[in-house]
Structure 1
Amino acid sequence: MYLYCAASKRETRGLVRVGVYKVDASIDGLICSYFVNSGGNVLSYSKLDMILLGEYCFSTVPSITPAYPSLPLGPYFDLHKPLLYSKPSKFTSLVINGHRRICDLFDLHQEQVPYEVAWSWQKEIVRDKRAQITKEGDCNDTLIILQHPPVYTLGTGSTVENLKFDMKNAPFNIYRTERGGEVTYHGPGQLVMYPIINLRMHKMDLHWYLRTLEEVVIRVLSSTFSIQASMVEGLTGVWVGNEKLAAVGIRVSSWITYHGLALNVTTDLSPFKWIIPCGIRDRQVGSIKELVREGKPCVGHGRPDLHNLDDASLIHITHKSLLEEFSQAFQLEYSHKNISSPMLYERK
């Protein structure tokens, strides 16, 4: 017997519409399917909840007696076996039964990939993952890290009032996207991370996901550069004093994320002067290079060696730290993937 907790009035109406018995039968099918696909591994209630939340936005509360005597709990559940996990902090995904999730890593951090190419690529990956989840119940996560040639992007609710130029004579290409947030700039020297992950298997909480992305950058700045960064209540992104070093804007489709974060490493900040970044008028943007080389008070004195690094070296060590902190925060194991230029650019 299962008790259903709908996430909203919409899900409640949907539950009534399909009928409890149909949902029961569908859930039984899910359980059986998972049992077969997992090779007979025991499925804990916590794992079941993760699956059901992804499919129905429902949570389950098991009773002592099965609703279907002909379908015993034995093969599918171990009532006495807890879910094994580690959770070092509130910004860390669960490690289920001691195993990290696999993340396909496309590391293009030295390349400037046109924005429209990367955007199309992300949407293609999302479509593939949705199809795979429908068929198999799960999929690997994916992370793309790259740079872009100069470009401005607008979020779903962005207003042109935050542009300080005539769109007909824009200095760079402009794209209106489906991500959240206002206008921002991408360009060389800025590391952009596009996580395409299945939040059903992490945490189905967009606030948690956004704050975790920000925490990844905060850890990078602290551990690698001794830069004291923070979040700002009511605003997205990562801040050092009054300067924004990293912008965050995401989209989620069927609990699969895309778009992501952009961190200014050695970025030329002058193109930000032609916009009101993220629609915030009373704050500025900054970069790691600017903070490190100018020796601002927010930068610790433990890394004097950083002051003489060239741009390529700053990009390299920031990229390495981003990958490490991201894998720790989301408890992922990377599977390095390659993609040829013809395969990438045919998505344009």
Structure 2
Amino acid sequence: MNKQVQFLDLGMKDYKEVWDFQETLFSGILDVKVKNRREEKNDATPNYLLFTQHPHVYTLGKSGDMQNLLLNEKQLADKGATFYKINRGGDITYHGPGQVVGYPILDLENFFTDIHKYLRFLEDVIIKVMADYGLEGVRSEGETGVWLDVGTPFARKICAMGVRASRWVTMHGFAFNVNADLGYFDNIIPCGIKDKAVTSLNVELRVDKVDEEEIKQKILKYFTELFAAKIVNAEEEVLLRV
């Protein structure tokens, strides 16, 4: 099992551009697996982890409801935002500046073949990061992601998650609100959940801005620990040739 994970921080990138990039890496892993099966080979499959931020964009998962987007095309344009229907699970969410977005593209056969465990591990990564800042991140039963004050009138989500998996290969991932403009969430019913709010780490810590690079390093640390992975830095040009 190959537990090496090629890591790349893409910085600020258009959503569709990164989605296409994910699809390329995802398909490359699947191709290796199909070839192994057909030719009775045992070539190692690669794993990837991408960090990025996106310009303002709303995405709707394959099981989502368009009514949870509260803007028409003109209003989207006025907000400087785009919209995509995509192939992950979950409903509608927002991506924008001030988030740390992570896309693990893993062959889970290199780690464990359990999608629920995979999602719980992603949640645990963020929960551990929040604990470093003195915050208790928790799960909300039946609602993937990381929350605060679940079970109270003040329940609020700080990290959304939605993934796609095929033949144990994953894509899409998590969006952690670190310094997010929460006003953009007013234009949707986030994840289709009407009775819970959304928050950001800087709001919870009552500071103007949280060090996003520090957050990324903490995410890498806990991801490595939980998945027993070895992170290696990659170059975009090299991965594009995969």
- Could you say whether these structures have the same fold, taking a TM-score greater than 0.5 normalized by the shorter chain as the test? yes
Residue 292 of structure 1: CA displacement? 0.5
The Cα of 1:182 is off from its aligned counterpart by 0.5
1:132 CA displacement: 2.1
Matched residue, 1:141: 47
Which whole-Å deviations, capped at 9, do the CAs of 1:217-260 have from their partners, x for residues lacking one?
Answer: 101100x2111110011111100121100000000021100000
Task: Write out per-residue CA displacement over residues 81-139 of structure 1, whole angstroms, 9 at most, x where no aligned residue.
Answer: xxxxxxxxxxxxxxx7xxx711100123xx21100011000010011111223344431
Alignment partner, residue 114 of structure 2: 205
Q: For residue 26 of structure 2, what is the aligned residue in structure 1?
A: 126
Q: Does 1:186 align with 2:95?
A: yes
| Cross-structure match for 1:107 | 9
Q: 1:219 aligns with which of 111, 125, 128?
A: 128
Question: Counterpart amino acid of 2:190?
Answer: P
1:143 and 1:196 in contact (8 A); partners too: yes
Instruction: Give the corresponding residue for 1:116.
Output: 16
The one-letter code sitting in structure 1 at the alignment partner of 2:136 is Q
Specify the SS of the correspondent of 1:237: strand
TM-score by length of 1: 0.62
In the alignment, does 2:141 pair up with 1:233? yes
Deviation per CA, 1:189-227: give whole Å up to 9, x if none.
1000000111112221111111111111101100x2111
- The structure with more strand, counted as a fraction of residues: 2
Bigger radius of gyration among the two: 1
What's the CA shift for 1:329?
0.9
Partner of 1:256: 169
CA shift, 1:274, in A, is 0.6
Question: Which residue of 2 is the match for residue 333 of structure 1?
Answer: 230
Give 1:196's match in structure 2, choosing from 105, 108, 132: 105
> Counterparts in 2 of 1:137-176, with a 5 A limit?
137-167=43-73, 169-170=75-76, 171=79, 172-176=81-85
Per the normalisation by structure 2, the TM-score is: 0.88
User: Match of 2:215?
Assistant: 318
Question: Residue 3 of structure 2 contacts residue 111 of structure 2 at CA under 8 Å; is this kept in 1?
Answer: no
Q: How many residues align?
A: 227
**Long gaps (5+) in structure 2:** 37-41, 150-154
Q: CA deviation at 1:168?
A: 5.0
Question: Which segments of 5 or more consecutive residues in structure 1 lack a partner in the other structure?
Answer: 1-95, 294-306
SS in 1 for 2:32: helix
* Counterparts of 1:335 and 1:165, CA distance in 2: 41
Give distance in 2, aligned partners of 1:166 and 1:106. Answer: 34
Give the whole-Å Cα distance in 2 for the aligned partners of 1:203 and 1:322.
Answer: 20
Aligned-partner residue type, residue 118 of structure 1:
V
In the TM superposition, what is the alpha-carbon distance from 1:314 to its structure 2 partner?
Answer: 1.8
Shift of 1:339: 1.6
